[in-house]
Chain A
């Protein structure tokens, strides 16, 4: 497997959807190509850092306020009838 082929399969590899043969070839490539190993490892870390970051959490007070506003508007909409959306 060449570096460009590794890159082409990287997303499938990280998502765990590679067929067994390609996965073995890719891991074999990673065992000797340090650059691709680093790219793979740091890309995986990038995903994990974002996934675990709790970026843009909705504060509980705002959440309550939004939900209450949504339900009030829904009920107003229901009273006006379905054609008014």
Chain B
């Protein structure tokens, strides 16, 4: 059993060239940056807001803010990490507006159970995702991740779905590296446990059809 491979990312130097051109007023360079990252921003935004219209708004607002503040971008970090930070903040604002009764913050200390081993340890069937149609699977995954607190699912999405490094995730969320690692572990374990309800090995006679 080995380590998880992250998604490959585009060349960073090329990104810097585009950013520098956009800073000098080349809108086609900025449009190329939009083209490059709009899918990622949309995915992150929809994971956080759990609402498609909000996610569309976040994509527009995040790129517009990035465009307006491009001169302030220091080029010490990657443009993408900076953009993700803007998008996460916009998405959290949407969430706060929609659910004012619940505190939505990445800074709050999330109360969870202790670090004891998971209660549910039943094994999964091999290739469990193949038990379901694509649509069913998407529904299961979407509902399952919705059950996590925003601070957990945001870390999980940036780190495991979008493939940002732990350090980049920490920078994008303005969290410490240990905080990212701790939330990531809890998010992964909680998702694993919840998915187990759908993916557990069935008793004999109930599968292999």
A interface with B by C-beta (< 8 Å): 3-4, 7-8, 10-17, 27, 30, 35-36, 38-51, 53-58, 62-63, 66-67, 69-71, 73-75, 77-78, 82, 84-85
Contacts and interface: CB of A to CB of B under 8 A. Distances in A.
Contacts, number: 145
A70 to B, nearest CB: 5
A63 B65 CA distance: 18
Contacts of A71: 27, 30-31, 34
B121 A35 contact: yes
Interface residues on chain B, size class: 35 or more
A51 B117 contact: no
Contact of B42 (A7, A13, A49, A56): A56
Residues of B contacting A: mostly: helix
B59 to A, nearest CB: 5
B192 A4 contact: no
Contacts of A10: 185, 188
Contacts of A57: 39, 43
B46 interface: yes
B60 A43 contact: no
